Amino acid sequence: MSAQLDLFVNAQDKEKARELLKAYPSMKAAVEIYSVEKYFPEQFDFTEIDMANIEGNGTRGDIDGRGTRRDIVGNTIILREERPLMIRNYEQKCMAIERAVGALHVEGREIIQKCFFEQKRDKHIYEFELRLPKSTYDFHKNRAIDKVTFILKAAAII
């Protein structure tokens, strides 16, 4: 099995998988916040600016008339129509990551969840939580990342 993984998965794919695993908590939070705000809006708890952001009208400058159909997220302007597509893309990636991690062995699943989802330090995980030698921890972590990369590439996520 490892020979097949080596032929199919390269270093760039592994790096993309690591980036996706690191971004998983943020993507999951964005999906949950978007779905809660969309289906259960509590209009009385928000200011005018908050409501404009939820509706996709953006920032104070947008309310004052600079633009009415854009959101500014970070330094990127996202069109109002593109927002559901972005959230849907995040949702697909989150589901794929969850299923790929669910397909791992127990050791790999625990390491991936603690390292990437809970974002704990490696040293804390292998010394205090799992009580494993560093070499064993590194072996299981690399093997788990290889398998997750293989699954995500086969599913056309990477």
Residue 64 lies in a domain: no
Helix (H, G, I), strand (E, B) or coil at 154: helix
Residues 57, 68: Cα–Cα separation, whole Å: 5
Model-level pTM? 0.71
Mean pLDDT of the chain: 79
pLDDT above 70 as % of the chain: 66
pLDDT digits (tens, 9 = 90+) for 106-154: 999 999 999 999 989 999 999 999 999 999 999 999 999 999 999 999 8
Residue 76 lies in a domain: no
> DSSP character for 117?
I
Residue 22 lies in a domain: yes
- Domain of 149, in residue numbers: 2-36+81-154
Residue 27 lies in a domain: yes
Residue 55 lies in a domain: no
Residue 21 lies in a domain: yes
Residues 52, 60: Cα–Cα separation, whole Å: 9
46: amino acid identity, one letter: F
> Which residues, 6+ apart, have CB-to-CB distance to 50 below 8 Å?
none
pLDDT above 90 as % of the chain: 49
Number of domains forming the structure of the chain: 1
